[in-house]
Structure 1
Amino acid sequence: MAVRLAILGAGRIGQVHARAIAASDSAKLVAVHDPVAAAADAIQTAYGCEIRTVEACAEADDIEAILICTPTDLHAEQIELFARAGKAVFCEKPVDLSVNRVRACLDVVEAEGATLMIGFNRRFDKDFRALKSAIAEGRIGDVEMVTITSRDPGPPPIDYIRRSGGIFRDMTIHDFDMARWLLDEEIESVFAQGSVLVDPAIAEAGDLDSVNVLLKTGSGRQCVISNSRRAAYGYDQRIEVLGSRGMASAENVHETRVETATSDGYVRSPLQNFFMERYEAAYADEISAFVHVVETGTAPPVSGNDGLMALVLAEAANLSVAESRAVAIDEVLE
């Protein structure tokens, strides 16, 4: 029997998840909620679900699980509501912009014995999963260094920048999660530097647009993260892992695999435009994983603690930039 789901938030990511549910034989979209009527209407029309209030979704017997795709400032409150209602919860990152608020939310989830999975979709990308498998199988020996490059084709609107929580909480947070996942060891210190090189308006909004971060674990393993809000050549998503016996890397995904060679040189097709295209399959696999969790009662592959620790690293990076020093994670966790 298909797992019965509801979606809160019918914006861009809510639409992505609705498509994934519709394509699954194991899931059924029962309801959608969005304060923007046109957005909710679009999903209702496309997938034949009902439009309901948040409270009605929490009280409904025909809904087993909820996907929270609302603005960040609503996440923690909605997680708590549905945890108390006995629903399994999938929530897009981050749970909140405050470490203490996330901790309080996770306390409620634990007290209720609820299921919570956080939406770090890059863990479900087939290339990154193959990279993780190469590490787990020992093909490159012991991991020593990870290099993550993540650059957007262009910056988001300034209004988005102002409410995003800053580049570390909004953009780098994905890479913090990938670093923890690939290193398979907690980070102990963070050193970050940042500038505004893309758009002066981003500085006026109190944010950065070009950052580099060095993470270090207790055993000395390192991860370097390079982020920019602009890459003129397209959406740049690469990871390299150096091990004691070799190296494994995941390269960019192009629109096609065709490469032409002439007297003028080699030409490849452009990179896939942005995250909606680049990670389309990963989003679908992520929802499949959540549905499996609901069906089987197994532990989520991305936990609430994973969401917390990625935010902790973001906070440490902010402090590092502000004080121009390496920051121990324990300083943020105190």
Structure 2
Amino acid sequence: MLKVGLLGAGRIGNVHAKAISAHPGSRLVAVSDVNMEAAKKLAAQYGAEARATDQIIGDALIDAVLIATSTDTHSDLIEAATKAGKAVLCEKPVDLSLERARVCQKAVAASGRRVMIGFNRRFDPNFAALKAAVDRGEIGKAELLSVTSFDPAPPPVSYVRVSGGLFRDMMIHDFDMACWIMGGLPETVTAIGSSIVDPAIGAVGDVDTAVVTLYFADGRIAVIKNSRRAVYGYDQRVELLGSEGLLSAGNVLENTVSKATAAGVVGAKPEFFFLERYMRAYLAEWAAFVDAVNTGSALPVTLDDGVNALAVAEAATRSAKSGETVKVASVL
């Protein structure tokens, strides 16, 4: 039985607590949060204890920690947990700073411990099936990837201000997806962005609408579209054109009922947001982590993957600000 400490009792911490407790091979032992009352409330739901973060990391009886705290704490906690001999699953991104993330990468390598980064979309059944079909060569060589990711509504400006920006906070999932599906890092990144959904987002220096083009060394292309507003729900689609066909993964709808009348055909909207859309993915992600820790097998998503996605996000941020194409090698 894998004994687990959860660091962070916010919205995503609640999701992970559910996944940890639902797995027959893991047990949530302790929860920490800067808001101790939140930690106590979440811990009580699952028969765990509320403790200070350093107590959880220092407890030799705890085998693994899941880091679901604010992004600016991720690298410090990863380093502390691996130094203490824990296995780690950390929410994305590794850090707000690529430089700091690379320091963390070196520290973890020296510790000999393993860290998995929480790019949960890899574990979505539909996206995973698309990736498996690519790997089997079902559409020949992958040539043009399109990723659409629209949120139903923008987050509060207070969140945007500390998020690291759309490219590091939101599109980083799509950068990881593109690298995963295409099998490596792009050579160059060209990004454009604007603030047309909420002027307040622009006022704090971020964008809420963006398009990024990734160019790979062999000529393949990936195009990523993000918006902080889609009034019809959470829009999550992937389309991949290959030399011998096309693969696409569409939205998960609230239900599969459609109505056809003389007026037309209507159906359900996409599931509203990530908690509904990706709960199965979070459960599968945790199961994969537990299996890798227990068997010693390779982690399906590594700290290196997290640093690579952050490097692409850094290149996109620079490109959007400068109006120029940025080489990924120049930021690594």
TM interval, shorter chain, is: over 0.9
The amino acid that maps onto 1:207 is D
- Spell out, residue by residue over 1:109-159, the C-alpha distance to the aligned partner (whole angstroms, 9 max, x if none): 000101100000000000000000110111111100100000000100000
Which piece of structure 1 moves more, 33-42 or 154-163?
A: 33-42
Q: Which residue of 1 aligns with 2:210?
A: 211
1:145-156 map, 5 Å: 145-156=144-155
Q: Structure 2: state its 5+ residue gaps.
A: none
The equivalent residue for 1:227 is: 226
Partner of 2:79: 80
State how 1:128-167 maps to structure 2 within 5 Å. Answer: 128-167=127-166
Unaligned runs of 5+ in 1: none
TM-aligned CA deviation for residue 185 of structure 1: 2.5
The residue number in structure 2 matching 1:195 is 194
User: 1:12 aligns to what?
Assistant: 11
RMSD: 0.8
Q: 1:215 aligns to what SS in structure 2?
A: strand
Distance (whole Å) between structure 2 residues aligned to residue 272 and residue 54 of structure 1: 34
Q: What is the aligned length?
A: 332
1:294-333 to 2 correspondences below 5 Å: 294-333=293-332
Q: Percent identity?
A: 51
Name the CA distance, whole Å, in 1 between partners of 2:158 and 2:14: 22
AA partner of residue 270 (structure 1) = K
User: 1 CA distance for matches of 2:320 and 2:133?
Assistant: 34
Partner of 2:288: 289
3-state SS in 1 of match to 2:116: strand
1:76-106 superposed Cα distances (whole Å, 9 cap, x missing partner): 0010001110000110011111111001001
What is residue 109 of structure 1 aligned with on the other side? 108
Partners of 2:26 and 2:290 within 8 A in 1: yes
Structure 1 CA distance for aligned equivalents of residues 53 and 222 of structure 2: 40
Residue aligning to 2:30: 31
Q: Are 2:36 and 2:50, in contact at CA under 8 Å, matched by a contact in 1?
A: no
Please give the alpha-carbon distance, in whole angstroms, between the structure 2 residues aligned to 1:35 and 1:312: 29
Q: For residue 187 of structure 1, give the secondary structure of its aligned residue in structure 2.
A: coil
Correspondence for 2:273:
274
> TM-score, normalised to structure 2's length?
0.99
Equivalent residues of 2:40, 2:49 under 8 A apart: no
Following superposition, the deviation at residue 41 of structure 1 comes to 1.5
Amino acid at match of 2:80: L
Is the 2:121–2:281 contact (alpha carbons within 8 Å) kept by the matching residues of 1?
yes
Q: Which amino acid in 1 is paired with 2:259?
A: T
Structure 1 residue 37: Cα displacement:
2.1
Matches within 5 A, 1:37-116: 37-116=36-115
Partner secondary structure for residue 74 of structure 1: helix
- Residue 251 of structure 2 is aligned to residue 252 of structure 1: yes
Q: CA deviation at 1:59?
A: 1.8
Q: Which moved more, 1:149-158 or 1:51-60?
A: 51-60
Q: Distance in 2 between matches of 1:312 and 1:140?
A: 29
Query: What CA distance in whole angstroms lies between the structure 2 residues aligned with 1:103 and 1:245?
Result: 39
Partner of 2:239: 240
Shift of 1:29: 0.5
Paired with 1:278 and 1:249, the residues of 2 have a C-alpha distance of: 17
Contact 2:160 2:206 in 1 (8 A): yes
Q: Which whole-Å CA distance do the structure 2 matches of 1:185 and 1:44 have between them?
A: 39
CA distance in 2, matches of 1:147, 1:62: 45
- State the distance in 2 between where 1:137 and 1:286 align: 22
